[in-house]
Amino acid sequence: MKKIPFSTPNIGFRELNAVKRVFKSGWYIAGEETKAFEEEFASYVGVKYAVSLSSCTAALFLSLKALGIKEGDEIIVPSFTFPATASVVIHCGAVPVFADINNIDFTLDQKSVNSLITKKTRAIIPVHYGGNRAKISARIPIIEDSAHLIPRGGDNKSFARCYSFYTTKNITTIEGGMLTTMNKKIYEWVKKARLHGLSTDAYKRY
């Protein structure tokens, strides 16, 4: 049986110097470094807005809340994914509907998705798995779980795309995530939502 090893983070002198710079600044979270990271990340993936969050799970949850997902709504998710993809749906009071994946790249199967869409379906969460991009089209909002993929530029037409910076991901902040969108209203709402409704964070108040 072949084993697929987890990769350890590639941390070198540049990363260590960057961490040292943050500590020397006296401000360790959500300051100028975070703002610069959001802007650089948005530019890299070819999107207008990026909001840093505590995890990809938080990004998925806030995407659903920004969409107005409520009790009784149905959200289509893959049957093969990390639990958070479905648990955020449950935390919104909605119902996760599990679709099949294809046997080529293990991402959502379009035919399976089409067969599960009902009047209650409010969104689809395709998961880009192992660097493979799920190719799903629909007339309802799509929230991309992109924990396994950071594409450079390209299509950004979905409602939102959610990234993970966990220690085993493409790039790491040890823990962390990002939500990207082309919609300014969503961007402004998520910025407040991550601060429990506050319009000004601690760094600006300081």
Segment 21-77, tens digit of pLDDT: 999 988 888 888 999 999 999 999 999 999 999 999 999 999 999 999 999 999 999
- In this predicted structure, the answer to whether residue 180 has a pLDDT above a threshold of 90 is yes
What per-residue confidence (pLDDT) applies to 5? 67
Q: 3-state SS of 139-160?
A: CCCEEEECCCCCCCCCCCCCCE
**121-155 pLDDT, tens digit each:** 999 999 999 899 999 999 999 999 999 999 998 77
Residues noted as catalytic: 169
What per-residue confidence (pLDDT) applies to 3? 74
Q: 3-state SS of 118-132?
A: CCCEEEECCECECCE
CB 75 within 8 A of CB 69: yes
Domains of the chain from N-terminus onward? 29-205 (3.40.640.10)
How far is 206 from 204, CA to CA, in rounded Å? 5
The pTM for the full model equals: 0.92
